[in-house]
Structure 1
């Protein structure tokens, strides 16, 4: 009697990319080990604008200013990721919330505004910007609640058109309400954090007049205003990531994933889809307002042209390229959106700066990503968000081998 050889029917594991390997390595670390690696990495990132590597430096503009812009875009990407990546709501008018946050600070602190409260009003110039940040967050959250209540009952393309219209409405209101917003002339002299004012730095560390001293051994004196805004933006990004991360691991986050994957099935299983979509929309709007307040204080001037539909597309591009639903991915996407145009600004081809072709390059990049990596550079993994590490270890726990005769 001949024996037939048994062939293994175990499924072959798919090819894993660099992002998957990094995610698996990071997920296998304990919480103290993650903090032990993450904190030094954050410190090195904070020191990067002070000592920019030659390969990363941006010859055409201040590297500190580029990193400050990246921190602002990172906040926007995290907020939009809650709406698009976590809850699966296609929002094409996210720039509207960004504008509401910026104009909330501008209208309360700019000398060009009839509602200015920083000159003889209830706001002191020393802490006017800081006081306006929670106001901007509250107003944008309310605007997200007002917009989402009637519109989140529609889905897909219809929701995208509604949000697109909201973004344009906010921009047109800012452009046409000249008696309030100063129209296309914009609002100048917006308040910013008054920290470190001295004879050498009259406006403080966050003032646009702070150019920094690259020869100084004191890191605080070495940092220019862009670096200071980058540090502040990093702190805000970390706080927002901690809040959003805890939400993802809670019942709210699991409901977002269920609604994103199949809203009808989620409702059949008892998930109040509209309620959790409204939660995502309001939270995303609040984060967008925070980024708008950061932008208004950083540039100290706003006008309607800074909140057009093109910027809204760039925000969405950062989320799509980085990876919808992945917080690390959207941060990488925000960095690419900000860094690459500034890096190639000093490179000219035929008398034209390559930075001027950023929309062409990003459009081409989107096409390539959608073909070869449709889920983004760092796709989100569909797994249990609550107690994920414990479940993963329990499932992959090695079992003792048994003898052949047993």
Structure 2
């Protein structure tokens, strides 16, 4: 083992973090998320985005973080190359739009409709997740027996099919015109017209973007807890085995198809949740928002952050969202740098694949269950051997 002085700074930080107790990690996580929640209210000068509202940028980041966590389950944990994840994102958004938009033929708002106007958006969250999970089951059942490039092509086609259906099914989705006037959480209507989450709350640091960011942070924490428990369970260990060598995992008795399908369905449900969050934030849904470029950006966040590391992919999502908004309006030689985000991400991926192919924060392969207890037992055995 290399001495600590020879390790890279990131590896030293990782080693220090691994030495903390579970209670210390929980405390550090609570403090970190508390500081993140205060970020739009007290933005540091280096972090602030002069061209756009920081609250709106952070709300978009929370949505991308959910997407990155869901895609990380599929790509990072189970090793399934999904290029059409934007399809699940679109299904979640259109589920909310079709159920709450006044121009939708399936609108369920109003006095005699299914949803209460005040709780419509929150009521649509579990429905959007259920619909996208069912879609993941439907598309995954016949296709997850494929591997590698073949699976990537199938999922890419799935994402494009969803966009084209939304674009051409004008009688229901209104086609390119889209669906507007979507429901939002009604909270604080006495203080602000429409509530804190509506566009009526557009001024100040605690504007509607900030409130959507806070809600997104809560959802990110909930999803992280669920995904973290899955990683430490038999399901998570099966995913890692499939990712490393599917044939070897199958020989050792792992039902690879079942666990891949679980990853696909869980990732789809999280994608539907992020789509519902997007629909509530923007209050408008059209097919242009769900093109293949966005799907590549989602994958870019996972690759940049580090496949398999759920905290790393959140950082990757922050880079993907924050960098273009931070550079918006910054001109060099008459070129707006904010419009060159695809160039920057492309160059970043090329450089990353050359010098750090595992991503900025690569996942560390180690025993996920009872690892601390196992280390203590080994240390005690070594001490007793040395004493004798």
TM-score by structure 2 length?
Answer: 0.96
Q: Which residue of structure 1 lines up, in the alignment, with residue 188 of structure 2?
A: 196
Shift of 1:13: 5.7
Aligned residues: 385
Aligned to 1:399: 383
Which structure has more helix as a fraction of its residues? 2
The alignment status of 1:36 with 2:27, answered yes or no, reads yes
1:249-328 to 2 correspondence within 5 Å?
Answer: 249-328=232-311
- Superposition misfits of 4+ residues, deviation over 4 angstroms: 11-15, 400-403
Shift of 1:259: 0.4
Give the secondary-structure state (helix, strand or coil) at the position aligned to 1:346: coil
Q: Is the 8 A contact 1:27 1:389 kept in 2?
A: no
How far, CA to CA, are the matches of 1:320 and 1:240 in structure 2? 20
Aligned partners of 1:347 and 1:354 also within 8 Å:
yes
* Aligned positions of 1:73-222 closer than 5 A: 73-119=64-110, 120-198=112-190, 200-214=191-205
- CA positional deviation for 1:12: 4.5
CA distance in 1: counterparts of 2:26 and 2:148, whole angstroms: 39
Question: Which 10-residue stretch deviates more, 50-59 or 385-394?
Answer: 385-394
Which string of whole-angstrom CA distances, capped at 9 and with x for unpartnered residues, describes residues 198-243 of structure 1?
A: 2x510100012212435xxxxxxxx111110010000000000000
Larger Rg: 1
Q: State the shift of 1:33 in Å.
A: 1.4
Stretch deviating more after TM superposition (280-289 or 389-398):
389-398
CA–CA distance in structure 1, aligned partners of residues 210 and 90 of structure 2: 23
Give the aligned partner of residue 14 of structure 2: 23
- Among 44, 65, 90, the alignment partner of 2:56 is 65
CA distance in 2, matches of 1:13, 1:162: 47
1:359-398 alignment runs, 5 A limit:
359-396=342-379
Q: Which runs of 5+ in 2 are unaligned?
A: none
Could you tell me which runs of 5 or more consecutive residues in structure 1 were left unpaired when the two chains were aligned. Answer: 1-10, 215-222
2:226 to 221, 229, 243: 243
Kept in 2, the 8 Å contact 1:19–1:377? The answer is no
- Give RMSD over aligned pairs: 1.6
